[in-house]
Amino acid sequence: MRILSAALAFAAALGLSTGTATVASAQAYPSRPITMVVPFAAGGPTDTVARLVAESMSKSLGQQVIVENVGGAGGTRGAGQVAKAAPDGYTLLLHHIGHATAASLYRKLPYNPATDFEAVGLVTAVPMTLIAKNGLAPKTMGEVVEFVKANKDKVTYGNAGVGSASHLCGMLLMSSVGAQMTTVPYQGTGPAMNDLVGGQIDLMCDQTTNTTGQIKGGKVKVYGVTTKERVKSLPDVLTMQESGLKDFEVAVWHGVYVPKGTPKDIVEKLNAALNTALDDPKVIARFADLGTEPESKDRRSPAFHKDFVVAEIAKWKPIIQSAGVYAD
């Protein structure tokens, strides 16, 4: 047996791709720190989810999972970087619904969101909130609709670039209202939130993982949540449907990916560590404080995630095309 393990170690060291060597590499994996790319700036909702999950995955994998923020182009810059990374399990992407909508928003996307990645597993679906700078006149969602109709492009709306969830939510709002606002793009809604709290922009739609603290701290006004049901941690905030915006529904699902061609054994090892993180009481409690919860157990397999991305690309394509929004 010693001879075989020495040969396997030698083969793995040479990167030989014999099946046995792959098994050996998966058994040895991970042997060094792992990078988890977040395709938005630090301090935003995607970053918040990633750091919670990465901290827990580090424990179960026995190697540091280090978050690297690669912002720009609504998340497509970071996703593109991971699509081109070595398929060895040492570069992960944690992205959200923007990974699916980019397929319709970008006509010259340098990667295919469905086929250039291996899906590792879904993480959580986060509600969004429509928020405003303190001092903005409207008191209710109905008054916001009238305010945007009356002021159109004089109203400034912050987002994380075309393809981001905050962009998608703004698109749904403008479609519901029938008026275009002036959008102000940022590398992430972390930086955008600073300008909203500072009064430099008027409105933003962002995930409860970034807005709960600001809402409860009275730093911003809140007009509604974008999920069908109210959010437990914001019980008094009406849903968009309760405010009469029937078609305005979006929850920001998140998933973990690795480059296409990453060995199945490594994908499964990462999926197991992700599931352990989603069952981690610390992660569950923090998600609850921030208005969300881990993906349900029956939706956590790589196969489910893979099919879900394809279905979401198909779901959002007609909605985006009818809104006539393109990034390039």
List interacting residues with ligand MLT (CB under 6 A): 40-41, 44-46, 96, 98, 160, 164-166, 188-190, 207
Residue placing its CB nearer to ligand MLT in the complex, 75 or 121: 75
Closest CA to 59 of 99, 19, 30, 87: 30
Query: What's the min distance (Å) between Cβ of 30 and ligand MLT?
Result: 26
Give burial (CB, 10 Å; 0-12/13-18/19+) of 15. exposed
Q: For ligand MLT, which residue has the nearest CB?
A: 44
Residue placing its CB nearer to ligand MLT in the complex, 89 or 98: 98
Query: What's the min distance (Å) between Cβ of 163 and ligand MLT?
Result: 8
N-to-C CA span, the chain? 57
Query: What's the min distance (Å) between Cβ of 34 and ligand MLT?
Result: 20
Helix, coil or strand: residue 53: helix
Amino acid occupying residue 121:
G
The count of other CB atoms within 10 Å of the CB of residue 56 is: 20
Q: What tokens does 287 get?
A: 């998600």
Residue placing its CB nearer to ligand MLT in the complex, 76 or 189: 189
Q: What tokens does 66 get?
A: 């280090």
Closest CA to 145 of 178, 115, 114, 120: 178
Residue placing its CB nearer to ligand MLT in the complex, 43 or 87: 43
Residue placing its CB nearer to ligand MLT in the complex, 26 or 50: 50
Query: What's the min distance (Å) between Cβ of 183 and ligand MLT?
Result: 12
**Tokens 């720190």 label which residue?**
33
Contact between residue 110 and residue 77 where contact means Cβ atoms under 8 Å apart: no
Residue placing its CB nearer to ligand MLT in the complex, 141 or 162: 162
Query: What's the min distance (Å) between Cβ of 188 and ligand MLT?
Result: 3
Query: What's the min distance (Å) between Cβ of 279 and ligand MLT?
Result: 24
CA gap 102, 74 in Å, rounded: 8
